């Protein structure tokens, strides 16, 4: 915490120092800076619009937007207590972006990036805390803000690791939403898309392959157990069975892939045996069931 | 002082909320593993397979017409050889109607205990067992088997799997000789008929 305070102190001092050298004549801007220096961020913010109105040339001033960013940033941090509802955060971001756009000499670049980085991390924290079946849409918005800001602040930022985690978590949320309302089939489609998103980045991702394999198998079973009426006509039975077999068939390559990666994972072997059972391939079912039994015995002996 | 206490309270609440979120995330991840660990050829997959057969059996009951004298009273379906199938089908279909007859289920695990029923589903691939049952059942009973082929089973309906799909065969000749009439849809959608 102490080092964060030191950084903010240095930022604060540097902003003030720059203010003395960079100001053009604009009394409202001077007032704005005074309010800012005295820590009266609310009044300082009120002057932002006044400055734009009275000194229109400030709209093209990188320093002015840099200060605006700091004012809004402080309101977000200190007055709004980092609330996700704070409008000041969004205004801080847009002010930084304007400043960066106008800052041809890159005079304020480093400080602008520092603000963006802190704001990005704030978005990430809110993304995590909103990641549930009720607030997930808001959570996605925060995640997108986080990614957009991180891309601006850190060239070496490894977006793919975050994307993988994000898609896996979203898939879990969508699956949960589907279990809460099993008529909402679109959630399962979204869960599948989320896992496919992971595999488009990392085709060997263990979790996505495993979950997609299980998901397709469960969908096949659910097609029969939940969608097929007990008094369905024969034509409907045939269509439903075709749909279920299609899901079972889709499930197998994903589970086989993770089996190659981790042949001692009991759950995967058991899952493959289950898929073969559902596909009525008795020979393969018995083969994998025996492998599963051997693994289970070996593991219990090791314990 | 009061403000400090309030801030501490808010921070604690935020910390607890954050911990709760992490717990939720861990729960999500664990639930995936648990679902696999318990998954198996598990009850759901077995139940789905049984349900498919049940739906077909119900359609057999509805789309086969018994001679007039057997269309009164309850419609009895016997299940031989698998209690799980009996339990699942009886809970799904008991008291559903076939014409004006209410379906009732009976379970048998010994051929000599088999009583008269309209339809008897034998879950046993052993030809000798099926043959013994076939000889002992009443004339009005339609035998449904799941043998390798219809002819050797001696039954009127036989379940087989073809490319992962459940299909059925019908011995229409035998059925007609015994006075049953079979709906055209049933024969049209059969995998084979003799």
How far is the C-alpha of B38 from the C-alpha of B25, rounded, in Å? Answer: 20
Judge whether B168 and B135 are in contact, CB under 8 Å: no
Q: Which of A177, A152, A147, A73 is nearest to A115 (CA)?
A: A73
Residues of chain A in contact with residue B47, where contact means CB-CB under 8 angstroms, are 225
For the cut 60, the answer to whether the pLDDT of residue B121 exceeds it is: yes
Residues 56-85 of A with CB under 8 A from B: 81
Q: Which of B182, B160, B185 is nearest to B171 (CA)?
A: B182
Q: Looking at residues B48-68, what average pLDDT do you find?
A: 94
Query: Do the Cβ atoms of B28 and A173 come within 8 Å?
Result: yes
What pLDDT, in 10s, does the model give residues A239-287? 999 999 999 999 999 999 999 999 999 999 999 999 999 999 999 999 9
Query: Do the Cβ atoms of B45 and A278 come within 8 Å?
Result: yes
Cα-based distances in Å from B54 to A4, A112, A225, B59, B170: 68, 68, 12, 9, 17
Interface test with A, best of B11, B48, B64, B159 (most A CBs within 10 A): B48
CA distance B136 to chain A (A): 30
Q: ipTM of this predicted complex?
A: 0.77
User: Can you give the pTM of this predicted structure?
Assistant: 0.79
Judge whether B146 and B98 are in contact, CB under 8 Å: no
The residue written with tokens 């309270």 in the block is: B9
In the three-class reduction of DSSP (H, G, I as helix; E, B as strand; rest coil), residue A86 is classed as coil
For the cut 50, the answer to whether the pLDDT of residue B34 exceeds it is: no
* Tens-level pLDDT at each residue, chain A (303 residues): 455 555 554 454 455 444 444 446 789 999 999 999 999 999 999 999 999 999 999 999 999 999 999 999 999 999 999 999 999 999 999 999 999 999 999 999 999 999 999 999 999 999 999 999 999 999 999 999 999 999 988 888 889 999 999 999 999 999 999 989 878 889 999 999 999 999 999 999 999 999 999 999 999 999 999 999 999 999 999 999 999 999 999 999 999 999 999 999 999 999 999 999 999 999 999 999 999 999 988 887 776
pLDDT at res. B134: 81
CA distance A97 to chain B (A): 30
Q: Which residue of A has its CA nearest to B166?
A: A241
Q: Which of A221, A66, A178, A282 is nearest to B125 (CA)?
A: A282
Structure tokens given for A33: 């800076």
Name the band, by pLDDT with cuts 50, 70 and 90, for residue B4: very low
Cα-based distances in Å from B44 to A6, A221, B170: 60, 7, 29
Query: Do the Cβ atoms of B166 and A280 come within 8 Å?
Result: yes
Interface test with A, best of B18, B44, B148 (most A CBs within 10 A): B44
Minimum mean pLDDT range among A217-221, B34-38, B67-71, B148-152: B34-38
Residues 28-57 of A with CB under 8 A from B: none
pLDDT at res. B78: 94
Does residue B43 belong to the interface with chain A, where contact is any CB pair within 8 Å? no
pLDDT at res. B69: 85
Name the band, by pLDDT with cuts 50, 70 and 90, for residue B112: confident
Query: Do the Cβ atoms of B45 and A274 come within 8 Å?
Result: yes
How far is the C-alpha of A100 from the C-alpha of A152, rounded, in Å? Answer: 10
Q: Which of A166, A255, A232 is nearest to B92 (CA)?
A: A232
Q: Which residue of A has its CA nearest to B27?
A: A172
Query: Do the Cβ atoms of A234 and B36 come within 8 Å?
Result: no
Judge whether A126 and A137 are in contact, CB under 8 Å: no
For chain B, how big is the Rg over CA atoms in Å? 26
* Chain A to chain B Cβ contacts (< 8 Å): 113
Residues 162-191 of B with CB under 8 A from A: 164-166, 185-186, 189
For the cut 60, the answer to whether the pLDDT of residue B11 exceeds it is: no
Does residue A131 belong to the interface with chain B, where contact is any CB pair within 8 Å? yes
Q: Which residue of A has its CA nearest to B25?
A: A169
């Amino acid at each position: 915490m102490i080092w964060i305070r030191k950084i903010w102190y240095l930022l604060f001092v540097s902003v003030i120092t720059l203010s003395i050298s960079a100001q053009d004549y604009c009394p409202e801007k001077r007032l704005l800076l005074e309010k800012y220096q005295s820590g009266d961020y609310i009044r300082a913010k009120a002057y932002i619009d006044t400055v734009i109105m009275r000194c229109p040339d400030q709209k093209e001033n990188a320093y002015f937007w840099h200060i605006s960013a700091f004012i809004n940033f402080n309101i977000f941090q200190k007055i709004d207590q980092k609330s996700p509802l704070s409008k000041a955060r969004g205004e801080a971001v847009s002010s930084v972006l304007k400043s960066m756009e106008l800052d041809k000499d890159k005079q304020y670049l480093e400080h602008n990036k520092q603000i963006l980085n802190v704001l990005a991390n704030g978005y990430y924290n809110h993304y995590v805390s909103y990641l549930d079946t009720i607030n997930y849409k808001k959570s996605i918005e925060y995640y997108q803000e986080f990614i957009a800001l991180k891309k601006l602040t850190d060239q070496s930022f490894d977006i793919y690791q975050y994307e993988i985690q994000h898609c896996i978590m979203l898939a879990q949320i969508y699956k949960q939403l589907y279990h809460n309302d099993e008529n909402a089939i679109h959630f399962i489609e979204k869960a599948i898309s989320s896992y496919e998103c992971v595999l488009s980045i990392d085709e060997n991702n263990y979790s996505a392959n495993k979950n997609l394999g299980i998901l397709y198998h469960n969908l096949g079973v659910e097609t029969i157990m939940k969608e097929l009426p007990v008094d369905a006509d024969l034509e409907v039975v045939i269509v439903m069975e075709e749909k279920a077999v299609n899901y079972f068939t889709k499930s197998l390559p994903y589970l086989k892939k993770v089996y190659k990666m981790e042949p001692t994972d009991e759950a995967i072997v058991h899952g493959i045996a289950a898929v073969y059972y559902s596909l009525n391939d008795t020979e393969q079912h018995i083969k994998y069931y025996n492998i599963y039994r051997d693994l289970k015995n070996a593991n219990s002996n090791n314990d | 002082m009061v403000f400090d206490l309030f801030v501490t309270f808010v921070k604690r609440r935020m910390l607890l909320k954050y911990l709760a979120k992490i717990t939720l995330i861990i729960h999500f991840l664990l639930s995936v593993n648990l679902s696999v660990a318990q998954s198996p050829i598990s009850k759901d997959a077995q139940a789905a397979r049984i349900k498919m057969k049940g739906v077909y059996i119900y359609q057999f009951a509805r789309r086969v017409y018994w001679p007039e004298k057997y269309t009164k009273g309850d419609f009895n379906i016997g299940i031989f050889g698998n209690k799980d199938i009996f339990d699942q089908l009886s809970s799904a279909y008991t008291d559903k109607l076939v014409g004006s007859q209410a379906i009732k289920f009976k379970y048998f695990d010994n051929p000599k205990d088999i009583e008269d029923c309209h339809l008897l589903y034998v879950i046993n691939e052993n030809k000798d067992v099926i043959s013994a049952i076939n000889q002992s059942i009443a004339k009005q009973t339609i035998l449904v088997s799941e043998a390798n082929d219809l002819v050797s089973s001696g039954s009127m309906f036989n379940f087989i799997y073809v490319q992962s799909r459940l299909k059925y065969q019908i011995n229409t000749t035998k059925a007609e000789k015994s006075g049953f009439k079979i709906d055209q849809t049933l024969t049209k959608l059969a995998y084979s008929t003799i």
